[in-house]
Amino acid sequence: MVVEEAGKSTPPGGATVALWTALAGAPAVVLLSQWVAYSLVPDACARQNSLFVHLVHLAALLLLAAGFLVCRRQWARVGGVEPDERPGPDHNARFLAFAGMIANPFLALVVLAMWLATVLFSPCSA
């Protein structure tokens, strides 16, 4: 067991950064996609073509799928069982990965709901 000196810490590993990015980045992707889609509506109305708005939603879904895959890969790496109450870095990583595997698909459903509104309504309808 490695004992760290007081006041010194080690930077997080790449797996931890990837998990935090996949978990915390998912809501940011959804909010950013909604903001960009709304900002593209006047242009879509002027052109009578909402292709770029559709591409924003597609890019958000792809980013959320990538976040899910990162979490799934890390979850399999640390054992692939449900998180439990035991302390330790593997259990923390298991919890973050499990939370990311739940959050990313849920937020993908949110993006699909926003995309459905783009499909059903004209960008010029007020």
- Domains of the chain, by residue range, sit at 21-120
What tokens were used for 98? Answer: 């499990």
Q: Tell me what pLDDT residue 69 has.
A: 95
pLDDT of 84 reads 64
Q: What is the pLDDT, as a whole number, of residue 125?
A: 79
Query: Which of the residues in the chain have pLDDT under 50?
Result: 1
- Give the distance, in angstroms, between the CA of residue 125 and the centroid of all CA atoms in the same chain: 30
Q: Which pTM value belongs to this model?
A: 0.82
The string over 74-98, giving b where at least 16 C-beta atoms fall within 10 Å of a residue's C-beta and e elsewhere, is: bbeebeeeebeeeeeeeeebbbbbb
pLDDT of amino acid 1:
47
Q: Measured between alpha carbons, how far is residue 28 from residues 13, 41, 105 in Å? A: 22, 20, 14
Determine the residue type at 58: L
Q: What is the pLDDT of residues 35-63, one digit of tens each?
A: 999 999 999 999 999 999 999 999 999 99
